[in-house]
Amino acid sequence: MSNHASPDLFLHPDFDGHENVCFVTDSASGLRAIIAIHRHGEMFAAGGIRMFPYADTQAALRDVLRLSRAMTYKLAVAGLPVGGAKSVIIGDPEVDKTVDLLTAFAGAVDRHGGSYRCGCDVGINADDLSIIRDHTAYTPPARLGDLAIPTATGVYHAIRAGVEVALGKSSLEGISVAVQGVGQVGARLCKMLAADGCRLVAADVDASRSSAVAEDSGATIISPQEILAADVDVLSPCALGSALSRDSLPDIRAKVICGAANNQLAAPDIDHALHTAGILYVPDFVANAGGVIGGLQVDCGYDENESADRVSAIYDSVHAILRLATESGTSTNVAAERFARQILDAK
């Protein structure tokens, strides 16, 4: 196994003074991965493992740099003394994921000596994490259960706040929501929204997941190609990132965008374009913090009740950031990053 740095890393447009970027390979298992630590924080750095068939190493590097930076902001807004990190494994999780590959990756995490703690993300599920946990202690304890639940719960509270501000409604009864991606988080979010009386439409590339959500929550299923343009009050991106782009923006009819996906903005200026179009965007790193709040409760020393309170407090954080955006006349993402940097600068 080898670790090496790219000579062009410091010139990369998404490099933001990252404290550690590690390129990991293992020829025996076929592992090719990047671990990026944006900030170590007061205790350590934390962030999930994503496995995806990136087109090339540069695409993987761009993703991990952006994701790890967003994790720093996410953890700051959540009030946790932990820095942001992320890992990406280059490969198709349906084809390339093996026990040997996961074991090799666990070894790379373990060699960080606890300065990096990992968890699930796209392409890496709880079963995969249990394999990784057999070879490194630096994962959330198994007893914490399904972290998709607190993630979905946090997004639910963020939607409540966004709807209050943009639509002036204190209840979600009758609000129409389009959920893009109904995997572990999206499916649970649909169930929560349905229980509050929302009218749901949903889409996923996996037809079996769509069918299950339709049966469980009563959602109307439409094609993934139609979901961004759905005539709804709220659009909730819960699949992969970069859904909000210059190409998709003209088709969006929702007044609020709030979802669980990381890096929803394909480019930084999309946030300004949404603001100009009168669409309220709830920054993803604020809305989707529930999972990491739940996953870090043991390491950070708070119990399940406090964890639940911290997840519920995402509602208050969203309100605070939306007020800041209004008062400063900036877009919501700019306001959220400013909010996070103020917290970081105060430490």
Give the mean pLDDT of 30-43.
97
Predicted TM-score of the model (pTM): 0.89
The answer on 123 and 163 residing in a single domain is no
Q: Are residues 202 and 63 in the same domain?
A: no
Cβ-based neighbour number of residue 218 at 10 Å: 13
Is residue 347 among the annotated active site residues?
Answer: no
Q: Is residue 302 part of a domain?
A: yes
pLDDT band with cut points at 50, 70 and 90 for residue 142: confident
Is 165 in contact with 322 (CB distance < 8 Å)?
Answer: yes
Same domain, 173 and 96: no
**What is the predicted pLDDT for the residue at 7?**
55
Note the pLDDT of residue 137.
Answer: 95
The number of folded domains in the chain is 2
Q: What is the pLDDT of residue 228?
A: 97
pLDDT above 70: percentage of residues in the chain = 98
What pLDDT was estimated at residue 268?
86
What pLDDT does 346 receive? 86
pLDDT tens, position by position, 146-200: 889 999 999 999 999 999 999 999 999 999 999 999 999 999 999 999 999 999 9
Q: What is the mean pLDDT of the chain?
A: 94
Distances (CA, A) of 304 to 228, 285, 310, 314: 35, 22, 10, 16
Q: Which residue out of 86, 169, 191, 347 is catalytically annotated?
A: 86
Spell out the residues 6+ positions from residue 88 whose beta carbon is closer than 8 angstroms to its own. Answer: 33, 34, 49, 50, 51, 52, 54, 60, 63, 64, 67
Going by pLDDT thresholds of 50, 70 and 90, the confidence category of residue 1 is low
pLDDT range class, residue 96, cuts 50, 70, 90 = very high
* Predicted local confidence at residue 240, as pLDDT: 83
Give tens-digit pLDDT for 177-190.
Answer: 999 999 999 999 99
**CA-based R_g, the chain, Å:** 19
Domain edge (last residue) among 92, 119, 139: 139
Q: Are residues 163 and 306 in the same domain?
A: yes
CATH number at residue 314: 3.40.50.720
